[in-house]
Structure 1
């Protein structure tokens, strides 16, 4: 028992160091976002008090509020769209036996290995031919298409782990397959759907590559693109305090979300790994 405890303590040492390192970085960034550039370079953070103007200037001068709203629209619409497309597909793959099922399942899994860089040019050519470039809808569709394979892969395990007796009982009571899927299976699969939504939220919110290609005008820019523009501009002007403030605005939403739902992510993945 003592050997097991000592091994456990030794195993936790790297995690403790990683946690301390992360807390120091986060704390420094947070304090630097309320300091002046001079205080940052002289290592005297908050020496003259809190400077909330670092944040207010971003909203008043850089219009970061508009880009924040764009990212909220992209992320919310994409998360709903991914679940709407992936859930029925995963339900069929996890609950129904049909000819070619393994092939379809393999195709979804194989799609996870395709890098975004490889499909960016064909996607751009497709949307140009459809005259859908330069709109918010374009990037929403891109996020849905790109993330559906992962959604199907993740939800298939959840749906396959649900007892089939529930659907049989619903069929006896006169509940059809579609009605059973909506009223019985979807509520039971909420942990998996929530886990998928959280992963998609973090992925879409922090995306830079597809936003750079398809959100090609100021009205459709995301917060990640705005951050890159702010970093370039403030680096030239020497406003490093503003850079820290902009970084916190981009970082905090996903950080706060993870604090509230981190336990549900772990439990959701555990449930989905029972069968798959």
Structure 2
């Protein structure tokens, strides 16, 4: 029993160390965002009190409100588009047997291994030839179609785990395949759709590479890309407290979202891993 207890404690040591490290890092960043630059460099955080002006100045001196709105539009529209495109494809792959199914599965899985850097130049050439560079819809299209392979891969397991007797019963009652998919299968797969949406929200909100290439209009920048400009500008002026404030504003939305739905993510992945 004593050996078992020691082994169990040792297992939790890396987790506790990581937790302490994370709390210290983000705690320091939070306190630094409410301090002055002098206090940051002298390691005397909050010595002169709490400075909420670091956040108010951020909105006054930059267009961070516009950048937040841009990211919100990109994230919400892209997540909806990913579900619209990936759900029917995953439904067919998970529920219907047809010739060439394994090849299609392999194509989607292979697409997951393609690095974004490899397809960025062809995509940019395509959108440039269509005169779509700098448009809001350009980045949305890129986010949708670059995330569809993972979405199909994840949702296929959820659709495959739903009993086929439900569709058979619906067919007996005169419900066609499309109607059954919308009214029966999609509600049954809501755990998988929610899990996928959470992953996409966190990924798209913090995405930087595609935004750097396709959002070349400053007024179309998402918050992650705008953060880099804010950091460079505040570094030149020596406003390091503003840098911490901007970083936390970008980080907090996805962090709060993860705290609220972390249990649903685990439950959703567990459900999707069981096929029946």
TM beyond 0.5 = yes
Q: Please tell me the TM-score bracket, short chain as reference.
A: over 0.9
Unaligned runs of 5+ in 1: none
Residues 86-235 of structure 1 correspond to what in structure 2 (within 5 A)? 86-235=86-235
Shift of 1:53: 1.2
Shift of 1:275: 2.3
Shift of 1:183: 0.7
Q: What is the count of residue pairs matched by the alignment? A: 276
Unaligned runs of 5+ in 2: none
Q: Which runs of 4+ in 1 moved over 6 A?
A: none
CA distance in structure 2 between the aligned counterparts of 1:110 and 1:65, rounded to whole angstroms: 39
Could you state the TM-score of these two structures normalised by the residue count of structure 1? 0.98
1:3/1:168 CA distance change after superposition, 3 Å: farther
What's the secondary structure of 1:66's corresponding residue?
helix
CA distance in structure 1 between the aligned counterparts of 2:68 and 2:205, rounded to whole angstroms: 10
Alignment partner, residue 242 of structure 1: 242
Shift of 1:225: 1.2
Residues 4-83 of structure 1 correspond to what in structure 2 (within 5 A)? 4-83=4-83
CA distance in structure 1 between the aligned counterparts of 2:123 and 2:153, rounded to whole angstroms: 22
1:237/1:188 CA distance change after superposition, 3 Å: same
CA distance in structure 2 between the aligned counterparts of 1:49 and 1:185, rounded to whole angstroms: 56
Q: How large is the RMSD of aligned CA atoms in angstroms? A: 1.0
CA distance in structure 1 between the aligned counterparts of 2:97 and 2:214, rounded to whole angstroms: 39
Shift of 1:50: 1.3
Deviations 1:183-203 (A, max 9, x none): 111111011000000110111
2:247 pairs with 1:256 = no
What's the secondary structure of 1:134's corresponding residue?
coil
CA distance in structure 2 between the aligned counterparts of 1:2 and 1:88, rounded to whole angstroms: 54
Shift of 1:49: 1.4
Could you state the TM-score of these two structures normalised by the residue count of structure 2? 0.98
CA distance in structure 2 between the aligned counterparts of 1:3 and 1:185, rounded to whole angstroms: 49
CA distance in structure 1 between the aligned counterparts of 2:254 and 2:238, rounded to whole angstroms: 28
